[in-house]
Structure 1
Amino acid sequence: MKSFLTLYCIAIITIVLSCTNNDDNPPVFPEGSTESVNVWVQDSMRRYYYWADQMPVKPDYHLPVKDFFKSLLAPQDRFSFIVNTEDTSSYPRSIRNMYGFDYTVIQQTNGNVLAVIKLVLKNSPAFNAGLERGMIITRINGKNITAANAETLTSSMKDLTVLDLTVGNWKNEAVTDEKDIKVYYGLSFEQPVLSKVFEKNGKKVGYLYVYDFPDGMTSVFSQKFAEFKTAGVQELILDLRYNYGGSVSAAAALCSLIPPGISESSPFITFKGNKNGGQVKRTFAQQIAYDPKAIGFNALRANALGLNKVYILTSNSTASAAEIVINNLKPYAQVIQIGSTTLGKDMAGFSVEDKRKPRKISWQIHPVIYKVFNADGTGEYSNGISPQIAVNEYAELPLLPLGDSNETLISSVLNGGYLRSADHERFNKDVKILYQSDLNFIQGQK
């Protein structure tokens, strides 16, 4: 089962914390009290939090723990969060991790408002109920979806265990074949890496859709690239449009399989923390090795394609380790990014918790700890990484399956459509994105 924590850009170490406080005059509260937990939270954040110097000097220790944690965060922090490991209701919830799908509400040029299913996870409740990418949701629990109520309807889903959806197909500029579907809350399992080989002007083009970056992916990536190499792939399309991120080591492994001329000592990433964390530099080999399940750098490189150029498909759901792939490949290969601007999670972190035995504090902190930079020192993309070629995924409906050669973003590469003015206009119709069911989750966890 995929945990929601997969999306968190886990960096490099596991940590054991004591419950000491770094204040010159630390407050003292009874052990086990909310206030004592808050002192531990404050102490932990002062050590590791990237914006520790912006934390309030005298916070209100009497606040509930989640509210206290929120009071410590810098205004620009969209991503730090805290959970109580003994209370499942404290964990972030999303439509994707509860039911296994995501949707986008768009407004077409004629004013029509549509809720388009953009993603259905394999072996998820939504998949098993018959939902498919490209379907249109017309009603949620009996209510018609509008631009005004989409966010409220999505929020209400998080408190339910079954969804009553009315869905249809998009044909001839209208919704047809409507039917009612029940989607029950449940588990979604490990998502497969999808690979294909296309033909483009006599060249073999490899296509790789990567949903996320859990640890243990190096052997999967190695196998896929070995297949590409055997097939004679000369160009590569990397589809990261819905990838929230995950392990930096897995991202480094993928990057190591693409460009020519890198070695174990080639620099991959720099982590920059607060005054306590300082600066940490990693080569490709060093970063990959932080995955306990990883195969070695040299074994990976045996299957590398050695490409000077890569096409990467993105959306504003592309985040964290997926953005690291884009930014950190740039010193070594030409990256042609197609789609929409990414989310802008230019940072990494690790979980902070009480490892004492017996454990006295059940809270677990997921703070922003580092900003990340590539081998050229380039980073600071908190506003997202903009594509060289903007292509609106929703310009043409229905959305086709991921991996379909006629799908909008894929065909813009295969057909060179981004180079032709007629296709550029076709792929950039004035379709407005009004709401996306996943964005509040990936940037609203605090």
Structure 2
Amino acid sequence: MKKILKFQFIAIIAFFVSCTNNDESAPVFPDGSTESLNVWVQDSMKRYYYWADQMPAKPDYHLPAKDFFKSLLSPQDRFSFIVNTQDSSTYPRSIRNMYGFDYTVIQLTSGEVVTVIKLVLTNSPAFNAGLERGMIITKINGKAVTAANAETITSSMKDQTVIDLKVGSWKNGAVADEKDVTVYYGYSLEQPLLSKIFNENGKKTGYLYIYDFPDGMTPMLNQKFAEFKAAGVQELILDLRYNYGGSVSSAAALCALIPSGISASSPFIIFKGNKNGGEVKRTFGQQISYDPKALDFNVLHANSLGLNKLYVLTSNSTASAAEIVVNNLKPYLQVVQIGDVTLGKDMAGFVVEDKRKPKKISWQIHPVIYKVFNANGTGEYSNGISPQFKVNEYTQLPLLPLGDPGETLISEALTNVYLKQVHSESYHKTKILYQSDVPFAAKGK
């Protein structure tokens, strides 16, 4: 679960957070009290929080910790959260990190509303229960899913440890072969990279699906690109449609493997913080070096495909470090984005916690600390990054497996590669009514 919960947080500097309140105007409360904890939270946020200057001057220190934290947040902030490491109930919950799948409620051109399983994590509780991408959910815990009740049903699932589903297959425009499936709350293993090579008229196109950007993935990325390069791949489709993000250093390593004309000293990212954080600039080499399993830039770049164009598949669930890949490669090659608008998490940060030994405060703060920009200073995409070709992956049912050349977004990208066109009008053939993962990605809940 740790990998899924950690959206974005990157180690930019080594730091220790003191539990001593340095604000002489703040009240003093007994150690161990809720009020003293809240003073520590306030003090930490004043130092690091991007919107520190918008925090209330006189918050209510008597509030429970999570409520106090929320009272400090800017209305612009969709992502900061706080957890108690000794209380699992305080951690963000989602269908994906509890059960290992996600679904979307769509309305077909006929007016019929159906609930489609869009993602099943490998070796997850959902996977082990037999769920597959493309299945149709007709009932959850005995209730038929509709656009009106989908959010309520999703919320109730987060308070349970077992869910009962009725699922079927989509055949000839209707649900068939319905069966009952029980999914238990549990852990999902780290997700593998999925790669394919498509070959048409002697032109090889690589496909790489990346679920997230965990720390330490640089060697895996290097191996995949070595395989692509050895196979003579000339074009690349990068599938980030369900990627919430993760380590910016892992994302930087990926970016180093794609374009030509860059070096270790080429600028990669700019972090802009509050008056305390200032502005931090990182080159490719510098940002990659923060990965625990970092490889030297030149070792990585030796397997670069040297491309001048990249195809990226995105959705409303593409966030944080995944969006950084889209935005921060633009100064170095043409990025052809296909799919839907990304989530809009143009921010990054690190975990703020008590580093004393023994630790006296078990809470961790996960605040927005920086806005992020590319080498050209381009950022500010809080409304998401819009694709050049807006394509709805639910246009054709059943959904095909990721990596299948006939799958809607992959097919559109391949059409662009080989025929230089995309049928972007397909976006309007179905309507997306609800997505089980987008509220989680947007609100950290």
Aligned partner of residue 47 in structure 1, secondary structure: helix
Q: CA deviation at 1:14?
A: 4.0
The residue that corresponds to 1:91 in the other structure is 91
Contact residue 50 and residue 370 of structure 2 kept, 8 A: yes
The residue that corresponds to 1:345 in the other structure is 345
The residue that corresponds to 1:404 in the other structure is 404
User: Unpaired runs of 5+ in structure 2?
Assistant: none
Distance in 2 (CA, whole Å) between partners of 1:291 and 1:228 is: 23
Distance in 1 (CA, whole Å) between partners of 2:369 and 2:109 is: 43
Distance in 1 (CA, whole Å) between partners of 2:436 and 2:24 is: 45
Q: CA deviation at 1:358?
A: 1.6
Deviates further, 153-162 or 305-314: 153-162
The residue that corresponds to 2:287 in the other structure is 287
1:297 to 2:302 alignment? no
Aligned partner of residue 427 in structure 2, secondary structure: coil
Equivalent residue letter for 1:352: V
Aligned partner of residue 275 in structure 2, secondary structure: coil
Distance in 2 (CA, whole Å) between partners of 1:61 and 1:68 is: 7
The residue that corresponds to 1:63 in the other structure is 63
The residue that corresponds to 1:163 in the other structure is 163
Distance in 2 (CA, whole Å) between partners of 1:15 and 1:100 is: 34
- For residues 242-283 of structure 1, give each alpha carbon's deviation from its aligned partner in whole angstroms, at most 9, with x where no partner exists: 000000000000000000011111000000000000000000
The residue that corresponds to 2:209 in the other structure is 209
1:441 to 2:440 alignment? yes
Distance in 1 (CA, whole Å) between partners of 2:360 and 2:22 is: 19
Aligned partner of residue 377 in structure 2, secondary structure: coil
Equivalent residue letter for 1:211: Y
The residue that corresponds to 1:390 in the other structure is 390
Q: 1:297 to 1:263 in 2, by over 3 A?
A: same
Equivalent residue letter for 1:267: P
Q: 1:420 to 1:331 in 2, by over 3 A?
A: closer
TM-score when normalising by structure 2: 0.97
The residue that corresponds to 1:267 in the other structure is 267
Q: CA deviation at 1:359?
A: 1.2
Contact residue 117 and residue 136 of structure 1 kept, 8 A: yes
Q: CA deviation at 1:86?
A: 0.7
Equivalent residue letter for 1:437: S
- For residues 272-311 of structure 1, give each alpha carbon's deviation from its aligned partner in whole angstroms, at most 9, with x where no partner exists: 0000000000000000001121111111011000000000
Aligned partner of residue 253 in structure 2, secondary structure: helix
Contact residue 102 and residue 117 of structure 1 kept, 8 A: yes
Q: How does 1:18-417 map to 2 (within 5 A)?
A: 18-416=18-416
Q: CA deviation at 1:441?
A: 1.1
Contact residue 142 and residue 164 of structure 1 kept, 8 A: yes
Q: CA deviation at 1:429?
A: 3.1
Q: CA deviation at 1:108?
A: 1.2
Q: CA deviation at 1:201?
A: 4.1
- For residues 137-161 of structure 1, give each alpha carbon's deviation from its aligned partner in whole angstroms, at most 9, with x where no partner exists: 0000111001111011111111111
TM-score when normalising by structure 1: 0.97
Distance in 2 (CA, whole Å) between partners of 1:111 and 1:59 is: 49
Deviates further, 18-27 or 169-178: 18-27
Deviates further, 73-82 or 391-400: 391-400
Aligned partner of residue 6 in structure 2, secondary structure: helix
Equivalent residue letter for 1:163: I
Distance in 2 (CA, whole Å) between partners of 1:11 and 1:387 is: 30
Equivalent residue letter for 2:351: S
Deviates further, 347-356 or 13-22: 13-22
Q: 1:223 to 1:305 in 2, by over 3 A?
A: same
Contact residue 97 and residue 188 of structure 1 kept, 8 A: yes
Distance in 2 (CA, whole Å) between partners of 1:10 and 1:64 is: 28
Aligned partner of residue 122 in structure 2, secondary structure: coil
- For residues 23-59 of structure 1, give each alpha carbon's deviation from its aligned partner in whole angstroms, at most 9, with x where no partner exists: 2412110110000000000000000000000000000
Contact residue 2 and residue 190 of structure 1 kept, 8 A: no
Q: 1:82 to 1:221 in 2, by over 3 A?
A: same
Q: CA deviation at 1:2?
A: 4.8
Distance in 2 (CA, whole Å) between partners of 1:9 and 1:346 is: 13
Q: What's the % identity of the aligned pairs?
A: 77
Contact residue 125 and residue 184 of structure 1 kept, 8 A: yes
Contact residue 142 and residue 165 of structure 2 kept, 8 A: yes
Q: CA deviation at 1:134?
A: 0.4
Contact residue 9 and residue 351 of structure 2 kept, 8 A: no
Equivalent residue letter for 1:233: V
Distance in 1 (CA, whole Å) between partners of 2:260 and 2:421 is: 30
Aligned partner of residue 7 in structure 1, secondary structure: coil
Contact residue 28 and residue 36 of structure 2 kept, 8 A: yes
Equivalent residue letter for 2:303: N
Q: CA deviation at 1:360?
A: 1.2
Contact residue 46 and residue 52 of structure 2 kept, 8 A: yes
1:430 to 2:429 alignment? yes
The residue that corresponds to 2:8 in the other structure is 8
Distance in 2 (CA, whole Å) between partners of 1:418 and 1:401 is: 23
Aligned partner of residue 68 in structure 2, secondary structure: helix
Aligned partner of residue 199 in structure 1, secondary structure: strand
Q: 1:428 to 1:419 in 2, by over 3 A?
A: farther
Equivalent residue letter for 2:96: R
Distance in 1 (CA, whole Å) between partners of 2:231 and 2:388 is: 29
